[in-house]
Every structure is written in structure tokens, then in C-alpha cells.
Amino acid sequence: MIEIDDLLDIPYCNNGRDISSGLDCYGLAIEVSRRFGHNLYDVEDAMRSNRDFADCENQCIKKINVKKVDEPKNEGDIILIKDMNGINSHIGVYLGNGKFIHCNSLGVHLDNVSRYKQFIGRVYTWL
């Protein structure tokens, strides 16, 4: 298990990439993945020129060494959460034992994967 206590309760900040000033869900996923020893490509540059999250997701996935799986099983698995329109618009990282870490308007916190099961769009595991 990686150290995450210092991340809990960090405030939400739109496009946040700095743990000292705030994170958004993707900034948190980048930081947690880094702590697991993985480099998650930052889609922010792609998002600036292309607001299609699905296309940005595809660009990101092509640049990292992951494969799609049915459900999170391994610590560090990337969980994409769908919005009400069925579009993957939120991201978290699986920590094991049914828990994942993510950041929303409440800031960084842990949640049970089961609470989001119906909204899980895709899960990727690192190779």
C-alpha cells in the first residue's frame, strides 16, 4: 500500500495539479499513479484543444502501458466513472479492499467502489 494520508482532504481545484494548492480528479490520479510507480499522461493539454473527453482518454491510454479489465482488482487500477449521459468524466485510483481514492467538489477522499459500481465506465490495469 502506498502512503495517501497526506492527500486526504486536499481541496478541489479545477485543473489542479499541485498537492499544496489543490487537485482535480485527474491531478489526483496523476499523483497517486506516480506513487505507485506509473506515469499517467496528463490530458490537460489535449483537453485545451479538444473538449471531447473520450478522444482525450484514447490519447492518454495510447501513451501508457495499461489494458482494459472488467473490474478493479489490483492496487493502482484506474477507474473511469460515467456521468448521467454515460460519458467517462471522472477518474479515481483503486487502492484495494474495495476502496478507491478520488477528488470531487468535496476534495480528496476515499470511497467504496461498490457505491459507484453502476457508474463505472472503464477500468484499466497497469502492465
Q: What is the pTM of this model?
A: 0.91
Digit-coded pLDDT (tens) for 90-99: 999 999 999 9
Q: Which amino acid, one-letter code, is at 13?
A: C
The CATH code that applies to domain 17-126 is 3.90.1720.10
Estimate to the nearest angstrom the gap between the alpha carbon of 15 and the chain centroid: 13
Query: Residue 86 region, left (φ>0) first, then alpha (ψ -120 to 50), else beta?
Result: left
What's the confidence (pLDDT) of residue 56? 67
CB atoms within 10 A of CB 103: 27
**Closest listed residue to residue 102, CA positions, set 34, 28, 11:** 28
